[in-house]
């Protein structure tokens, strides 16, 4: 027993719990990035529709506050949110374009992964995984693997080195 009244066994259990908490945090962070990448893909068409018709001047607005209070919801705050949405959309479209270029220079499997996310999430009329598997002449599990791997690759482009190191 030490001065806190803890045995060595108690101290070891606490140390193990703290060490495991760090591991869970890293896994949760990786899952968060993958979830957000997939969410951006799933909501891409809605975000694009939301940003249609936003004048160029709106994009230059300063990002001073984030408003979550309904009472504080004003025309000004709505315009600020549209400006943030437009910036996010443009960034995401730049990432998608970079991924398209990388994929088109790669092997056929790389090209197929880009086609998978393009046809499942980005196109105006998205396909189901089943229809895409028939169109690509591959098993539906291949489509699922391609989409999953493409989302992980996009996460690297979106979130940088931290996402890249998670695969190691």
pLDDT of residue 79: 72
**Residue 114: Cβ within 10 Å count:** 22
Please answer whether residues 122 and 88 qualify as being in contact, where contact means their C-beta atoms are separated by less than 8 angstroms.
no
Per-residue pLDDT of the chain (168 residues; tens, 9 = 90+): 555 566 777 667 777 666 666 555 656 666 788 888 999 999 999 888 888 877 655 555 444 444 445 555 566 766 777 788 888 899 999 999 999 999 999 999 999 999 999 999 999 999 999 999 999 999 999 999 999 999 999 999 988 866 555 554
Angstrom distance (rounded) from CA 163 to CA 168: 10
Query: Nearest to residue 142, comparing CAs of 151, 154, 129?
Result: 129
Cα distances from 161 to residues 50, 110, 158, 165, in angstroms, run: 30, 21, 10, 6
Structure tokens at 62: 């300063």
Q: Distance between CA 86 and CA 81 in Å, rounded? A: 9
Q: How far apart are CA 70 and CA 9, in angstroms?
A: 51
* Residues composing the chain: 168
């Amino acid at each position: 027993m030490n001065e806190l009244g803890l045995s060595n066994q108690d101290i070891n259990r606490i140390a193990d719990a703290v060490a495991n908490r760090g591991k869970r945090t890293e896994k949760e962070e990786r899952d968060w990035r993958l979830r957000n990448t997939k969410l951006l893909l799933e909501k891409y068409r809605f975000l694009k529709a939301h940003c249609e018709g936003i004048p160029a001047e709106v994009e230059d607005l300063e990002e001073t506050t984030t408003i979550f209070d309904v009472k504080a919801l004003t025309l000004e705050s709505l315009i600020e949110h549209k400006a943030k949405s437009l910036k996010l959309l443009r960034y995401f479209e730049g990432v998608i374009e970079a991924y398209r270029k990388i994929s088109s220079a790669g092997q056929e499997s790389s090209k197929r992964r880009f086609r998978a996310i393009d046809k499942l999430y980005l196109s105006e009329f998205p396909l189901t995984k089943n229809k895409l598997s028939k169109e690509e002449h591959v098993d539906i599990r291949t489509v699922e693997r391609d989409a999953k791997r493409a989302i992980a690759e996009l996460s690297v482009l979106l979130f940088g080195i931290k996402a890249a190191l998670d695969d190691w």
